């Protein structure tokens, strides 16, 4: 590669946009190992993982998007879906986090949405909205299988599709982040 081509490649941020997505997914896979560590260590490691994912995902350059529907309407649809799912799903499995469960689950929702609905969606959107919606939802569901098991895949895929649709409809990753935070809140308080 010639020197001008090397410089052009470095200046092309889209070329490297997949790296934070892959790194974030890898960090999320560490949760299995982290949950086996002692309490004080576990909480610190999870905070570090979620902080690293959030910061890296916010640094990924993404194209500005437009709202196709009112973000408040999109949020209401998401919250309704979460509420209906919570009523049907029953009690979630307990997580070994004690009093830190609520703040960690809210921080996890924020970090995961920055990763999946900002960075991954933004990177996949160059291939079209359908690819961005389905691709980011699939990645979300697959990354949760090691933690929750294969039986949770359909639920996580459904959640991922709802959250990705919210990203597309609202034009921002913050609406699905609010919905994800609400889902995690319901999960923690219903344990």
Task: Give residue-wise pLDDT tens across range 93-137.
Answer: 666 667 788 999 999 999 999 999 999 999 999 999 999 999 999
Alpha-carbon gap, residue 102 to 186, rounded angstroms: 10
Report DSSP letters for 81-136, one per residue. Answer: HHHHHHHHH-PPPP-TTGGGHHHHHHHHHHHHHIIIIIIIHHHHGGG-HHHHHHHH
Residue 81 belongs to what H/E stretch? helix 71-89
Q: Contact, 97 vs 43, CB < 8 A?
A: yes
If you count DSSP H runs as helices and E runs as strands, how many of each does the chain have, helices first? 10, 0
Residue 66, Cβ neighbours under 10 Å: how many?
7
Give the rounded percent of residues in the chain with a pLDDT score beyond 90: 70
Sign, Cα dihedral of 2, 7, 12, 16? positive
5 or 139: whose pLDDT is higher?
A: 139
Question: What's the pLDDT score for residue 7?
Answer: 46
Alpha-carbon 147 to chain mean position: 14
Global confidence as pTM = 0.89
Residue 91 phi, psi (nearest 5): -75, 135
- Which pLDDT score, from 0 to 100, does residue 94 have? 60
Q: Which pLDDT does position 22 carry in this prediction?
A: 92
> What pLDDT, on the 0 to 100 scale, is given for residue 93?
61
Asked whether the CA dihedral 53, 55, 56, 57 is positive or negative, the reply is positive
pLDDT band for position 45 (cuts 50, 70, 90): very high
117 in Cβ contact with 163 (< 8 Å): yes
pLDDT of residue 133: 98
DSSP state of 30: T
The pLDDT of residue 9: 45
């Amino acid at each position: 590669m010639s020197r001008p081509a090397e410089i052009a490649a470095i200046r092309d941020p889209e070329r490297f946009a997949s790296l934070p997505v892959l790194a974030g997914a890898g960090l999320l896979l560490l949760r299995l190992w982290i949950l086996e560590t002692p309490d004080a260590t576990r909480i610190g490691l999870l905070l570090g993982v979620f902080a690293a994912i959030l910061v890296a995902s916010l640094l990924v350059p993404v194209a500005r998007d437009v709202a196709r529907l009112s973000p408040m309407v999109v949020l209401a649809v998401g919250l309704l879906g979460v509420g209906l799912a919570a009523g049907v799903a029953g009690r979630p499995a307990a997580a070994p986090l004690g009093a830190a469960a609520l703040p960690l689950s809210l921080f996890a929702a924020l970090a995961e949405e920055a990763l999946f609905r900002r960075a991954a969606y933004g990177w996949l959107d160059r291939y079209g909205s359908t690819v961005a919606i389905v691709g980011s939802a699939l990645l979300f569901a697959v990354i949760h299988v090691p933690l929750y098991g294969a039986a949770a895949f359909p639920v996580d895929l459904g959640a991922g599709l709802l959250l990705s649709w919210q990203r597309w409809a609202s034009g921002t990753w913050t609406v699905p982040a609010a919905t994800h935070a609400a889902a995690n809140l319901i999960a923690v308080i219903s344990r």
